[in-house]
Amino acid sequence: MRLINLLPLSLLTTTTAATPPAQESLHNNRIPPHPFPGHLPVIMSPPNDAKVQVQPAVLLIDILGTQRSLTTFFSLSRMRPETSDPLADPNTKTTVLAPSNVAIEDLPRKPWENPDDYSALGSQAYDGSGGKDRADENMMRFVQAHLVVGQPSPWEAGVKAKTAAGREIWWEEKKSGGDGDGKRVVMPDGVEVERVASRVANGELSVKAD
C-alpha cells in the first residue's frame, strides 16, 4: 500500500493531468533532474534493525546526502529551513521516512502540485511569483509528511507520533506466517517498510524498498 495519505492535501491521490508548459518550466528549474518518486511509502526497519550501528558523530543531513537513491528527496529537504533544520539539529531526534527517487517518479503528481490549486486557479496555478510561492509550500509539506520530529529514537512500535505535516502515524510488526520474521508496517495505511538505512546522532533514516 502507499503512504499517500501522509499529506493532508489530496496532492498524491489524484491522477496526473496534462502538465502545462509553465509547470514543466517550474519543474525543470526548481527540482533536481532525478526521477520523481511516486508513492510515499514509508520506511522503517525489519526486526533485525538492532544490528544497525549508531554513528554518533554523524547527523541526518550528512548521511541523507550520501544516499544515491534518495537524491531527489534530499534536494527537496534542503529547499526550506523548516525541513532542513531538523536534519541538521544535533539536539532534536528525527525519523526520516524517505521515499526513493523511483518512488517520487511514480507519484501521480509532482511534489509541488496540489489538485486544490488547479481547482481554484486552473492550469496557470503555478505561474508567476504567486505560483512559485504555492509550489514552494507544497514541496515543503511533501517533505514534512516524511519527517517525524521530536520523537525519541529509535521510534518504538505502537507509539503514535505526528509527522511534521501534522498527520498521526505509528508502526506495527505483522507476522508473515509460520515462524518467519514479522514485517513492519506504518499505520493507519498499512504501508510495508523495509529497513533502517542509518542510525545517527540525531535520529534514523529509513528507506522503502523499490
Mean pLDDT, each 10-residue run in order, the chain (210 residues): 40 36 42 36 43 86 92 95 96 92 91 94 93 95 95 90 95 70 78 82 79
Dump the DSSP string for 7-44: SSSSTTTSPPPPPPHHHHHHHHHHS-SS----S-----
Q: Strand, helix or coil at 138?
A: helix
Residue 178 has a pLDDT of 56
Residue 136 has a pLDDT of 95
Residue in the block written with cell 517525524:
148
What are the residue ranges spanned by the domains of the chain? 4-207
Name the residue among 98, 110, 25 with its Cα closest to residue 67.
Answer: 98
Dump the DSSP string for 44-107: ---GGGGGSPEETT--HHHHHTT-GGGHHHHHHHTS-HHHHHHHH-TTS-EEEEEPPHHHHHT-
Residue 176 has a pLDDT of 66
- Is residue 199 within 8 A of residue 55, CB to CB? The reply is yes
Q: Hey, what CATH class is 4-207 in?
A: mainly beta
Return d(Cα 22, Cα 28) in angstroms, integer.
10
Name the residue among 204, 81, 97, 98 with its Cα closest to residue 153.
Answer: 204
Residue 26 has a pLDDT of 42
Cell readout for 135 is: 509550489
Residue 163 has a pLDDT of 95
Please list, in sequence order, all residues whose beta carbon lies within 8 angstroms of the beta carbon of residue 128, skipping any fewer than 6 positions away.
none
Return d(Cα 65, Cα 58) in angstroms, integer.
12
